[in-house]
Amino acid sequence: MKKFKIGLLLLLSLMLVVVTACGKSEETAKNGSKKDVKLQFFVSGDNVEGGALATMAKKYTEETGVEIEVVDVPYSDMATRITNMVQAGNPPALARTSGFNPIWKDSLGDLGSTLKDKGVREDLAIKDEDGKVKAIPIDLTAVGLFINKDLFDKAGVKYPQTEDDIWTWDEFVAALETVLDKTDAKYGLVMDQSDHRLSTMLYQFGSKGFYEENGKYTTNPETKKALEYFFKLNDNKIMPKAVWSAGEDPSSMFKSGQVAAYYSGVWQIKDFEKNIKNFEWASVYMPYEKVRATNLGGNYIVKFDGSGVEEEAQKFIDWLYTKENYQEAASLGGYLPVVDGAEVDYGVGEAGTKAYEIYQNEMASSDPIAAKLKAERDVLQLTSEKTPGSAIKDNIVKALNGEQSIDDAIKNSAAALTEAYSK
């Protein structure tokens, strides 16, 4: 009988230990999230855009106890790294991405509830053939033009202050030539090495981009005219050839104060406000030949099935898109908002405030072709069996380096798109 009592006490003690251990392992925060869970959140971007999400992740951890491990992945490596992880059956919980790979399609969770419940812009969401929401926008971006105001003022060159004063491309280039002649500027213009930036210029010349017609991708004659103009500008005077031909960093070149103008986008505003101290900069309206156009874009939030923390990932996404939290993220990152009714205080000075106003006007006046093609291409990246990668940019670089003609660059770009996207 004594042995039995000792055995019973030992059994009860062991049960108590197990119950206590289970209680600790399932300890939850106020929102029902398990505190001992860690979510990997892949983010690429500079300290401003990516840093905004890192700040929000830290806030979420403080509020809930759930750790969000923000992994900074270089933009150029994001798609490849996630693809490898998906193929290995070990995807991250979340990612902020601007592009997709078809391999992800069956591994992406449905974000339809967030889209509906949080008032996220549906026209910017990515849906599959069954209508499931595979990605929702986190921010909206637009292409635009910045100038070194000090250089323009020193040269006595006026720049557009209103939409009534917008340059043609020839007038813009003439202005740059004057600035180069009358100041110590090294170059007139730098442009990000990107399909997105170049396509904006093509649209401004009347290009319809690359589009499918009778089962093949093609383009209209204005595309070649715009590319010929772009190639002429890459003369190591107006534009440094090294940016597009060799990948030199245009942002650093502009920040050095030796470049008169920078063709980039809205995401630069917060960085310029904080980090440009050696000259005054300004955002101005972009030039155009036939139509005004700015390429819309942005980044998406995706959630992966198979991470083992799908439920917790969904809770974090819903928290992030709650209006007050989203407004804070947009303010920190300088995002153009994608949540209905979001009011963003960017906390910027006069130059930044004017810049955001100009971007809103650029988007409102843009030819619809820019937004239409971007949205179609994003969906195709996810739903097609193949991907063309950066075929357009790569073919333009080859042509700039003398490896092929402009005609061949156009033909080969269209062929790559046809192979990847045509049904």
Q: Given this model, what pLDDT does residue 24 score?
A: 33
Residues 111 and 160 in one domain: no
**Residue 221 amino acid letter:** P
State which amino acid sits at residue 28: T
Question: Is residue 367 domain-shared with residue 247, that is, in the same domain?
Answer: yes
69 and 87 within one domain:
yes
Domain that holds residue 103: 28-141+298-349
At residue 216, the pLDDT reads 96
Distance (Å, rounded) from C-alpha 151 to C-alpha 413?
37
Q: Which residues of the chain have pLDDT under 70?
A: 1-35, 45-46
**In the numeric block, which tokens belong to residue 334?**
């300088």
For residue 8, being part of any structural domain is answered with no
Distances in whole angstroms, Cα of residue 88 to Cα of each of 82, 107, 194 = 10, 12, 30
- Token reading at 21: 């251990």
Q: In this structure, are 187 and 46 located in the same domain? A: no
- State how many domains the chain has: 2
| In a shared domain, residues 397 and 338 | no
pLDDT of residue 266: 94
Q: Are strands 38-43 and 67-72 parallel, antiparallel or unpaired?
A: parallel
- Report the Cα 28 to chain-centroid distance in Å: 34
Strands 94-97 and 38-43, bridge-based pairing:
parallel
Phi, psi of 213 (to 5 degrees): -145, 120
- Residue 356 shares a structural domain with residue 235: yes
For residues 169 and 286, what is the distance between their CA atoms, to the nearest angstrom?
9
Predicted local confidence at residue 221, as pLDDT: 98
Looking at the fold, whether 91 and 164 belong to one and the same domain comes out as no
Identify whether the C-beta of residue 397 lies closer than 8 Å to the C-beta of residue 244. yes
* pLDDT at residue number 250: 97
What span, in angstroms and rounded, lies between the C-alpha atoms of 176 and 180? 6
Q: What angle do CA 113, 331, 44 make, to 5 degrees?
A: 70
What does the pLDDT read at residue 46? 65
Express each pLDDT in 16-67 by its tens digit: 433 333 333 344 555 555 557 899 999 986 677 778 999 999 999 999 999 9
Residue 278's pLDDT is 96
Please indicate, yes or no, whether residues 69 and 133 belong to a single structural domain of this protein: yes
Q: What is the CATH number of the domain that holds 113?
A: 3.40.190.10
3-state SS class at 67? strand
48 shares its domain with 90? yes
Residue at 48: amino acid letter: V
User: pTM to 2 decimals?
Assistant: 0.84
pLDDT at residue 297, as a whole number: 86
